[in-house]
Amino acid sequence: MSRLIQLTFKASEEARTLLSDYLLGLGSEGVAEDVGDGGMYDFSAYFPIDEDLGSVIRSLKDYFSIIKDGIPGIEISDIKARQIHSSSWMVWRELLNMVRAGKRVVIIPPWVEHSAEGDEVVIEINPSLAFGTGHHESTRLCLAGIEEIIERGSVGTMLDVGCGSGILSICAALLGVPDITGFDMDPVAVKESHKNARNNSVGDKIKFFTGLIDSASGSFDLIVANVYVEPILSMKEEFSEKLATGGRLVVSGIPVSRSEEVVEGLSAQGFKVFKERTEGEWVSYELRKD
């Protein structure tokens, strides 16, 4: 029976998205997160048995140091490694089934067959590769927000901040938005976004690039940012500059415990909450310029 290498460690909430994305970029076949004790999350990353494990662990430790220096309060434990049967990973993978978000959006992995019923919009994303699969509450909240805003009126342009797998851009394109720009600081994420957009037959409607929000030109009817608290607050001026008159800003990736901090920060920039969406311990806000 084939085997895999499983790396495990614990990390605090602020590091979750950064670490999942980085592990996938290192070549992990999948990353699992479980709620642990004391506000920490248990991470498990699965690598092929022939992977250069020493190089992976060195890269991961270097990355730990970078984000600890950049984000105060982050905690990350030591890394442990062990061999497991590949069936252990396959069992976890099979749990990643079809996910629904909003009224019409359905997200499926490649191994699930599902034909659109009625006015459903079906998005195929491979969870072993992509950064954002619809299985996290913050992503579903964003998808629901995008769907509802598009239903309310015309959205001609959208900016996807920290595009990850491209799932939000793909959803908007399938719902009829003709001109979409997405960006991410991670070139591996942007590569996956391009691939997923092509796989969902909307590659011609979306422009992805590697970089920062400053490089996105023009104004946008809709800006979506499913990231986390610190970058949301650090980009509030750019959000204000790039949001078109009458446009909407959707921010997600926000723990309920830090919701007031986000609202206060964006309110100081002239934004007003139009709608709040919650699922579990996560909150997303739809805002407009005051």
Write down the CATH number for the domain with range 3-94.
3.30.70.260
If one looks up domain 99-289 in CATH, what number appears?
3.40.50.150
pLDDT per position in the chain (290 positions), as tens? 467 788 889 988 777 767 877 887 787 877 777 777 777 888 888 888 788 888 888 888 888 888 888 777 788 888 988 877 655 555 555 555 678 888 888 888 777 777 878 888 898 887 654 456 666 788 889 999 999 999 998 899 999 999 988 999 999 999 999 999 999 987 878 888 999 999 999 999 999 999 999 999 999 999 999 988 888 999 999 999 999 999 999 999 888 889 999 999 999 999 999 999 998 888 999 999 97
Give the global pTM.
Answer: 0.72
| Residue 21: per-residue pLDDT | 73
Strand partners, 273: 287
> In the chain, where does the domain assigned CATH 3.30.70.260 lie?
3-94
CATH 3.40.50.150 boundaries in the chain: 99-289
